[in-house]
Amino acid sequence: MEANILHADLDAFYASVEQLLDPALRGRPIAVGGGVVLAASYEAKAFGVRGGMPGRRARELCPGLIFVGGHFKDYQRLGDAAIQVLGDFTPVVERISIDEAFADVAGCTHLFGPPAEIATTIRRRVRAELGLPISVGVARTKHLAKIASQVAKPDGLVVVDPRHELEFLHDLPVELMWGVGPVTRERLAGIGVRTIGELAKTKGGSLERLLGPAAGEKLNALAWNRDPRKLETQRRAQSAGAQSALGRKPAEAKIFVPTLLHLADRVATRLRAKSRPGRTVTVRVRFADLRSVTRSITLDQPISATAMLAEIAEALVRKVLVDHPHEKTISLLEIAVSHLEKQSALQLELPLGLDDDSRRPGTRKGAARWTADRAIDKIRDRFGWEAVGYASVTLGLSRSVPDAFRELAEKEL
């Protein structure tokens, strides 16, 4: 098979856009954000500054760091324009975030030349037309193309010869693989696995005991470049979620209740906008040592009401804390709703006077909550998100990450 899959990834995208908009920032260490680093330029990364890092820590590492607020409309505009450049060569484009996408160019090489030449042209056009650096990886599989684009950074091109895939892959660190974050990397390091080649040679049973059957099997396959996935050009999200990094906060109701309500507001608003309520609610609580615990519940009826979702999530978080009484600090909270349904009308329920009537969408109390949310949606559509909201969120939550930044990462429902 030929290496026909491209993975294109705009380099340090948010910071690069800020340097594009303000030439005085070019070549200088900058960070988008304030209380939390949302993105950092390569000049700042050289000092150890990373996305998600507290702003105070970033300033300690890089005393000359310049913080900028962020131009979110420009991020969306320029991200769309860069992906459109890929679309000028092939209709088989799978966008996976605002600043990166896959493209299968197998059907257009007779028009534009071999994949490496197409990738070179894409990089040249993005730089000339948009003024932004972009790295591209070319390989036979999606996983390997994405790794190649990471190796190519910053502002480079790497083409992986199908005859030498494992030679290229096995010397690389495991953290370049999809699904290997800081926690998994540390677990693998604990058994002496630091490169993808070492992972490939690790017995499947050891990986399954360490990471679980599904994750162990998946990583072993990717380590041997076994990745049969095709590009999905019309992919829609099968769940909606939102998370909030808290730093290190006490595991107390005054912290997690307003945070959960804010997250529920973001998720439920998206569900209502697309008329796609969901049945399964999942929460994730990450503690100070970066260990995460999840809990979920599947409901009889799909929900999309903000207060309803927040209360269910709160009950799940309280259960997590009861099950882990020694954990006194939380660093992240997440809510996700899955098993989404397409629902055009609310199905009413008989007034049985059950204790959970306020959490059942078809009861009088549940319908009243949904109606109130729809009124809020209409006001926000006309006057903006900040025009109206829940008082406990507005008064009780300090948001270090702007909502506009979160929206850039939200997938289409």
Query: Catalytic residue among 43, 94, 100, 311, which?
Result: 100
Q: Is the pLDDT of residue 401 over 80?
A: no
Give pLDDT, residue 211. 83
Contact criterion met (CB below 8 Å) for 144 and 227: yes
Radius of gyration of the chain (CA): 23
Please choose, from the candidates 149, 147, 116, 145, the residue with its C-alpha nearest in 3D space to the C-alpha of residue 135: 149
- Distance separating alpha carbons of residues 242 and 259, to the nearest angstrom: 11
Kindly report the pTM of this predicted structure.
0.74
**Residue 64, burial from CB neighbour count under 10 angstroms (0-12, 13-18, 19+):** exposed
- pLDDT of 165 reads 95
pLDDT tens column, 76-130: 999 999 999 999 999 999 998 899 999 999 999 999 999 999 999 999 999 999 9
Residue 99 annotated as part of some ligand binding site: yes
How confident is the model at residue 358, as a pLDDT? 61
289 is in an annotated binding site: no
Task: Categorize the per-residue pLDDT at 390 as very low, low, confident or very high, splitting at 50, 70 and 90.
Answer: confident
| Residue 248 pLDDT class (50, 70, 90 cuts) | confident
Specify whether 100 is catalytic. Answer: yes
Query: Residue 254 is which amino acid?
Result: K
pLDDT tens digits for range 294-312: 999 998 889 999 999 999 9
CB count in 10 Å sphere of residue 226: 11
Query: Are the C-beta atoms of residues 276 and 360 closer than 8 Å to each other?
Result: no
